[in-house]
Amino acid sequence: MASALDAIAADAGRSTILCGKTRVILIDGPAGSGKTTFAHHLAQTLNGCPVISMDELYNGWDKPLTGELYARIAEQIFVPIDQEINAHYQKYDWHLGKFNNWIDVEPVDYLIVEGVGAMHPKNLENACLKIWLEANEKLLLKRVLGRDGEHLREQMLVWQKMEREYFKKYKVADKADFALQTN
């Protein structure tokens, strides 16, 4: 993984800046494919840049990949970063079932947005680099349930169907600059 991180970081450093002074990196792929772990390793390679998880941005389980989500991402994150001012986005609290906290992100050299839906067409115009992660489908469910609990099995089966439809509809994997298979 270290060689992939180094290659991606080098590519990011050579990429065209499309959002203010910030190089935005999007990481997408199915739940359980290792996006969050990879994003945090890449962030460390890029001098500890901030990572925003799509899990913080969804409005719960119902209709997570809607136009409202992408309008909010643009308004709260990409427009301010493009204007070189602090982004200020609201974070969803999964335990309370509502948006609860506001998070500030200063303009930085690099910003990573990771999670299912990160490489939606509405986000692509801001991205200098797009990364697709995938893994064996049986491993995906096992990882998610091991991380989040067996009680989410039925919800995750519904989620997996929804994310497959999203990936197919927008041909997400085809838009990636890098595609990686995780074990």
Residue 63 above 80 pLDDT? no
Furthest CA-CA distance within the chain: 44
Choosing among 3.30.310.160, 3.90.600.10, 3.40.50.720, 3.40.50.300, the CATH entry for 19-181 is 3.40.50.300
Residue boundaries of the structural domains of the chain: 19-181
Compute the average pLDDT of residues 68-92. 97
- What is the model's pTM? 0.95
**Nearest 5°: CA angle at 44, between 137 and 15?**
85
Helix axis angle, 35-45 relative to 2-14, nearest 10°? Answer: 60
The predicted-structure confidence for 15-49, as pLDDT tens digits, reads as follows 999 999 999 999 999 999 999 999 999 999 999 99
Helix H or strand E encompassing 81: helix 79-82
